[in-house]
Amino acid sequence: MMPFERFPACRLRFLFVALVLAAWTSSPATASIRDHSVHFSRQDSVPKVWVNTGSGVYHCPGTRYYGATKVGIYLTEAQARKRGYRPATNRTCAVQAAAAESNERVWVNTNTGVYHCSGTRYYGKTKAGKYLSEAEARRAGYHPAYGRGCSTR
């Protein structure tokens, strides 16, 4: 016999906790906090930005803090600008995406999953690695050294 089955108060407390956890994990608000994929609005398939409501800046999809701050909401970039939020890098997402799609070659350390920009200390110098464009490296799941891509330097 389980301990909570002996006492009605424990049984009720157990059921209450189970219901609260079930409601919390199925809530759309917490789902947006846990899911770091690119979000699209249903009406027009426009990619959404992550607005850090604590700092008043928004982060574009694929950037370091997209969906990763403690407080925030997903909005379209137009909605975020209309509400007075500003881009974190002082460049719109369209400008950032164009810069990220540049053909600048990076050195990917295949052992660590980190890529290095040309002119940096480890560019082409790690034991295992290969050259890719920055866009190819990001699509393959590699991340920039020190959290800053070549296009944001």
Over the stretch 15-41, which tens digit does the pLDDT of each residue have?
A: 677 766 666 555 454 444 444 445 544
Q: Which residues are CB-neighbours of 21 under 8 A, at least 6 positions away?
A: none
pLDDT band at 87 (very low <50, low <70, confident <90, very high): very high
pLDDT at 147: 80
Pairwise CA distance, residues 111 & 7, whole Å: 55
DSSP letters spanning 49-79: EEEETTTTEEE-TTSTTTTTSSS-EEEEHHH
- Residue 89 Cα distances to 21, 114, 135, 149, angstroms: 37, 21, 18, 12
pLDDT at 108: 94
Determine what percent of the chain is predicted with pLDDT higher than 90: 26
pLDDT band at 12 (very low <50, low <70, confident <90, very high): low
pLDDT at 102: 60
Sign, CA dihedral 67-92-115-62, equals: positive
Residue listed under structure tokens 């607005």: 51
| Terminal CA-CA length for the chain | 62
Q: Which residues are CB-neighbours of 104 under 8 A, at least 6 positions away?
A: 117, 118, 133, 134, 150, 151
Which tokens is 64 given?
Answer: 């370091």
Which tokens is 121 given?
Answer: 């200390």
What one-character DSSP code corresponds to residue 124? T
